[in-house]
Structure 1
Amino acid sequence: MVLSELAFTADDLAMTRFAVSPMFEVVTSFRLLATGTAHPVHGRWLGQVRPRVAAARLDSGWLAELVPPQGYLPDFLTPPPGERAPTIQTELAALRATPAEEVRADLDVLGDLSGRGRALRRDPAGHLGRIADEIEAYWRLAVAPYWARIRTVLDADVFHRARQVAEHGAAHLFNDLHATLSWDDNTLRMVRRHCAMPRESTGRGLLLIPSVFAGQILTWSRPPLPPELIYPARGTGPLWDHRPVSRGDAIAAVLGRSRAALLTELEAPASTTELARRTGISAAAVSQHLTTMRDAGMVSAHRAGRSVLYARTLVAESLLADTPN
């Protein structure tokens, strides 16, 4: 274990901010998926996603090469968010533009490269586009259909942390982030398994990024950019729990019973064929209803091989949420 101390000046505290990063959800979820084991929180997600990822052969490609089961994650896979909530496309564009020397430096730290890794080291510019394309395919299958739920947890965490700062100050925030973190004498102390992260080798400030798939604290550092601290988001426990819809009749009165039934069934992403089988509505009618609800911003569509997965958006999740009287 290594005790890392990150000192803060008043300017560092003033430059501390939060962000949500789709790419960190990609790499942490893939690492979880690649373990091949059960998980007390993410079991339902794993059961739904593993067959899709295997069918698309994404479990043995670039991500499998670059995301080891534990230890170092190449920094170029997770470009620093330049805004509070960048899109996956924004982060993939930054990945594609990574300078060759940064890719090679990260691969040197990763070590033990196979054929793909050695090819990437020889010609980063020639392979970064392929890596980004594979990550985009993985995103469509494994993360995008669930993004509304995930994003709700991440945003709620950021709101909670911001309120902590407003009510109790930065010291309370840092002491509450994770059991391996503590704040004392203008210094953030981190018990880490691998490497230290002293202020002398980082940029100014700090970027805090919650993650639903991260099981422990992760860090990112590439001066002169601010260091990043990725921490497990609070509220992840019930992320995949079944959520009964208590206002089904009221929603059906507004949307119609068929569309209300489809939204209810979309607790987990599903294809038109699956929805037709489960609801008894014809596939043609299901397709028509889904198109209408997609145009209204209530469902999103994500291609998964030859089929398309539909998922509820934040708009639909809010509509179906059981609000207290």
Structure 2
Amino acid sequence: MFEFRLGVDDLAATWFGYSALQEAVLSMRARLWPGRYPEQQPWIAGWQERYQTLDTALLESMIAPVGFVPDFLTPRPLGPRPDFATEVERLAATPAEVVRADVLEAYRGGGNPSPLPPVLTALIDDPAALAVRLAEALDAYWTHCLAPAWWPRARSVLEADIAYRGRMLSERGAEGLFADLDARLTWHAGVLRLVDPHPAVKAVGTTVDVAGRGLVLIPTLFGLGAQTDVTQAGPPLVCYPARGKATMAEGLGAQLPSARAGAALVGLIGAPRARLLVMLETPASTTELAQRLGVTPGAVSRHLGALAAAGLLDRTRHGHRVLYRRSRLGNALVAGGDG
């Protein structure tokens, strides 16, 4: 069990955020254990051909057989919404001794050790090169599989979770917030308790006096329960399952591009416009799309105008709002010509 003793100043300094790099790394769990993450399987099927062109052995080695991940692959975010490219640069620059130690610790499995896979055995004695190669593999995975359509949907789920948690905190205080965050968490008299059932985690449980450092709360699509990290510098961190993660595959169905069609779509119209076209299975306004993507309405508007001019979108006015939705031609293009 972990106990976090928080004062008033700690609660005031508590903040929410999410990490694109962490979500990319942990998404490998959905590939290795599909039964635990059914909502991710349509996405994985959609980019399968693209994924097979990548450094798959190395990507899948990031998750040890018992589910542990080397800590340097999921560094503490420096802010609420760090840029993926910046996080990957940090990863590539991880000190060699940290890389080696973290990999070996993950594969020790908390007393249930597993042998290193061949790809790690070949690189473990050159951990600096291992960090660089991992960064390159993750960047390629992000570019070809996650960024075009998956990440906009994932980010909208994470943003919705944070907005909900903020409302709970303002309406019900810390007790209401933590009571609703995860079943592993309890709050009483200024103490937040986290009970993780994994024996290896139980063995390192401790009491943490937060002492004015605040707390970082991070939703994830790939957590099965709240977890913590007290080993890195900075405020304690609690990662918890995002509310609404089961909605990730809603509305996809036959409209999810095949791997070949998805790659062709990005090559034809570029990643930003491909991302918008995939998202617009259901009507949305410029402002709504900008909020989901975390960009300016002006940037979205330029892409929407180009897509509409090409006949890929239909426009409908509802009062003062203009809603965009894929046209029949847009549906056919997303479906790779099958629509």
Could you say if the C-alpha distance between residues 141 and 217 of structure 1 is closer, same or farther in structure 2, counting changes exceeding 3 Å?
farther
Alignment counterpart, residue 256 of structure 2, candidates 251, 268, 273: 268
Partner residue in 2 for 1:209? 218
1:60 aligns with 2:57: yes
Spell out, residue by residue over 1:117-146, the C-alpha distance to the aligned partner (whole angstroms, 9 max, x if none): 345442222221111001112222332121
CA apart distance, 1:116: 3.8
Within 1, Cα distance between the matches of 2:178 and 2:217? 10
Could you say if the C-alpha distance between residues 107 and 202 of structure 1 is closer, same or farther in structure 2, counting changes exceeding 3 Å?
farther
- Matching residue's letter, 2:147: A
Instruction: Name stretches of at least 5 consecutive residues in structure 2 with no aligned partner.
Output: 109-114, 290-322, 326-339
Could you say if the C-alpha distance between residues 142 and 199 of structure 1 is closer, same or farther in structure 2, counting changes exceeding 3 Å?
farther
Partner residue in 1 for 2:19? 21
Alignment counterpart, residue 188 of structure 2, candidates 177, 184, 188: 184
CA apart distance, 1:106: 1.4
Partner residue in 2 for 1:90? 86
Spell out, residue by residue over 1:57-107, the C-alpha distance to the aligned partner (whole angstroms, 9 max, x if none): 54322x322312434211100111112111210110111121223223312
Alignment counterpart, residue 225 of structure 1, candidates 229, 234, 241: 234
- Matching residue's letter, 1:70: V
CA apart distance, 1:273: 5.2
Alignment counterpart, residue 129 of structure 1, candidates 128, 132, 137: 132
Spell out, residue by residue over 1:6-38, the C-alpha distance to the aligned partner (whole angstroms, 9 max, x if none): 222333323211111011211221111122547
Identity %: 34
Within 2, Cα distance between the matches of 1:159 and 1:142? 27
Spell out, residue by residue over 1:273-319, the C-alpha distance to the aligned partner (whole angstroms, 9 max, x if none): 5799xxxxxx9xx94xx36xx7xx54449xxxxxxxx7448959735
TM-score, structure 2 as length reference: 0.70
Within 1, Cα distance between the matches of 2:96 and 2:169? 39
Within 2, Cα distance between the matches of 1:38 and 1:176? 22
CA apart distance, 1:213: 2.7
1:240 aligns with 2:249: yes
Could you say if the C-alpha distance between residues 299 and 11 of structure 1 is closer, same or farther in structure 2, counting changes exceeding 3 Å?
same
Q: 21-30 or 154-163, which moves further after superposition?
A: 21-30
Q: Is the 8 A contact 2:50 2:259 kept in 1?
A: no
Within 2, Cα distance between the matches of 1:316 and 1:106? 43
Within 2, Cα distance between the matches of 1:50 and 1:137? 14
Partner residue in 1 for 2:293? none
- 2:39 is paired with a residue whose SS is coil
Partner residue in 2 for 1:31? 29
Instruction: Name stretches of at least 5 consecutive residues in structure 1 with no aligned partner.
Output: 245-264, 277-282, 302-309
- Matching residue's letter, 1:188: L
1:113 aligns with 2:116: yes
Could you say if the C-alpha distance between residues 184 and 46 of structure 1 is closer, same or farther in structure 2, counting changes exceeding 3 Å?
same
1:158 aligns with 2:162: yes
- Matching residue's letter, 2:87: E
Q: What do you get for the CA RMSD once the two structures are aligned?
A: 3.3
CA apart distance, 1:272: 8.5
- 2:28 is paired with a residue whose SS is helix
Partner residue in 2 for 1:280? none
1:139 aligns with 2:142: yes
- 2:245 is paired with a residue whose SS is coil
Q: Is the 8 A contact 1:219 1:230 kept in 2?
A: yes
Could you say if the C-alpha distance between residues 176 and 317 of structure 1 is closer, same or farther in structure 2, counting changes exceeding 3 Å?
same
Partner residue in 2 for 1:76? 72
Could you say if the C-alpha distance between residues 7 and 273 of structure 1 is closer, same or farther in structure 2, counting changes exceeding 3 Å?
closer
Within 1, Cα distance between the matches of 2:208 and 2:27? 31
- 2:231 is paired with a residue whose SS is coil
Partner residue in 2 for 1:4? 2
Q: Is the 8 A contact 1:211 1:231 kept in 2?
A: yes
CA apart distance, 1:177: 0.6
Aligned length in residues: 274
TM-score, structure 1 as length reference: 0.72
Within 1, Cα distance between the matches of 2:37 and 2:137? 25
Could you say if the C-alpha distance between residues 268 and 101 of structure 1 is closer, same or farther in structure 2, counting changes exceeding 3 Å?
same
- 1:41 is paired with a residue whose SS is helix
